[in-house]
A and B are shown apart, each in its own frame.
Chain A
Amino acid sequence: MGGTFPRGATAIAGLATFGLGECPGWTSLEMAAKAGQLAVADAGLTMREVDGLFICLPDDVLAGLSLAEYLGLSPRFTDCNRTGGSAFMSHVATAATMLAAGYIDTALITYGSNQRSGGGKLSTPVGSNAWEAPYKPLFPASSYALAASRHFHQYGTTRRQLAEVAVAARAWANGNPEAFAQGPLGIDEVLAARMLSSPISVRDCCLVTDGAAAVVMTRIDRARDAPRPPVPVLGAAAATWHNAISQMGDLTTTAAAESGPRAYAMAGIGPGDVDVVELYDAFTINTILFLEDLGFCPKGEGGRFVEDGAIAPGGRLPVNTNGGGLSCCHPGMYGLFAIVEAARQVRGEAANQIPGVDIALAHGNGGALSSQATVILGSAATI
């Protein structure tokens, strides 16, 4: 069930973010390269040592080739996987298995997007398929709204509970100088926000920002020599169940219900062992669905689980401690930022540092709740 995974054989040795919020005058490729340069330096390595390149850009389907050329590298392996915002968690799975096998020695996973400065609209060419497009749903908001409507119907979830997710994310963002959306945000303000695609209002949607992030992975022996504490990768699992929302089997259960348990089995832990949770919150309903599917509460209980600030600072479970896609940053694909925040928490250097983090989970979502991938990171004490 767990699949074969080299638990603790590889680690994140370096990480960086760059240009979060607004980064006018930069291209997406420049931003990804800059984050990559910072992460390689953070790992105490040189760019010349990178022999595995993993990248996804919003506006370049051959981004791996573009970045190799830009950096003047000749990687032994290049991957620009396209599973939406979960791509980077899948990159971690690929990099870990390739590093452990000796296929590559140093993996750079990077991402950059000037989505905000570059025009303010989604710069990704992704949209509804031919069977949905004639009905003109708002892509992707209406897909998530349809899933939320089923969750409301089946489990009694409410807009107030969705609002709890947005309010918690803002409270975390207010403690993170890097977060783009700052300032007070209350439940009533979220409930009064302009409705976009019911039950999703504009305050239930992620930000549109610029931003770049990168991590460098190496085998654990080498990561131990890096300037910063190694962040071993304990498990990384992906699952894809559909693309279009109309083809999602059960609109209230995502493929995280598969990727999560497989990642836990690889890591040899359960949800109760996780100290901090970073979930891909493109919309408020995501957080509720993923808390359920990753086993932090029973199916259908996610709405009640997040009530009364339970996932906000001081709550029972720290979720999206950087402010998430809802209030920290969302440059089109958020996945790598969740991984960076999880790794920072393990290293003990997050803006909203949770004391004594040994296990951090980062979960990525791509498409319309379609492709799901879960990464479990540990401290040196966990291997």
Chain B
Amino acid sequence: MSATGPERHWRAALAEGRFLLQRARASGTVFFPPRLMEPGSGDDEWDWIEASGLGTVHAVTVIHPKPPQPPRAVVLVDLDEQVRLMSEVEGVPAEAIAIGLRVRARIGERDGAPILLFDAAGA
């Protein structure tokens, strides 16, 4: 058992520039957000793995704040490891982000904290 909970471990790794996921040993299932056991089975035999960072936009919404703030997109990304997470795709106009877009993860910074973001995979 780790000295800290899985969430804190994950955040510490992110701060060091590493994007981690968990993989259950028995089923091989990869899961996120970090937790103590594989969701569903409750299996607590798992390993940290490095995420490929590659994924596909699964769903997208464009938020329209009151002007002059520009519209901004929030996406759900399906990583190639079959886990889903919320994020943003940078470098692509909000209205041009479509379901199916291939994206690559990048660790950025926001409000002084590391944050997981995505770029178009071709960029």
Contacts and interface: CB of A to CB of B under 8 A. Distances in A.
B114 to A, nearest CB: 10
Contacts of B88: 135
Contact of A150 (B74, B99, B111, B115): B99
Contact of A131 (B62, B74, B85): B85
A146 B60 contact: yes
A64 B113 CA distance: 40
A198 B61 contact: yes
Interface string B64-95: 10000000001010000000111110000000
B85 A149 contact: no
A137 B74 contact: yes
A149 B101 CA distance: 14
Nearest to B95: A198
A146 B62 contact: no
Interface string B99-112: 10000000000110
Nearest to B77: A246
B18 interface: no
A247 B99 contact: no
B63 interface: yes
Contacts of B87: 135
Interface stretch (A50-58, A189-197, A255-263, A339-347): A189-197
Main secondary structure of the interface of B (DSSP, over half): strand
A137 to B, nearest CB: 5
A147 B63 contact: no
Interface residues of B, number: 21
Contacts of A245: 76, 86
Contacts of A200: 61
B28 interface: no
A319 to B, nearest CB: 25
A135 B63 CA distance: 11
Contacts of B61: 137, 142, 145-146, 148-149, 197-200
Most buried by A among B7, B59, B84, B113: B59
B64 A196 contact: yes
Given A146-B61, A150-B58, A244-B86, 15 more contacts: A131-B86, A132-B86, A134-B111, A134-B115, A135-B86, A136-B63, A142-B63, A146-B74, A149-B60, A150-B59, A195-B64, A196-B63, A196-B64, A246-B76, A246-B85
Interface of B: 7, 33, 58-64, 74, 76, 84-88, 99, 110-111, 113, 115
Interface of A: 130-132, 134-138, 142, 145-150, 153, 194-200, 244-247, 251
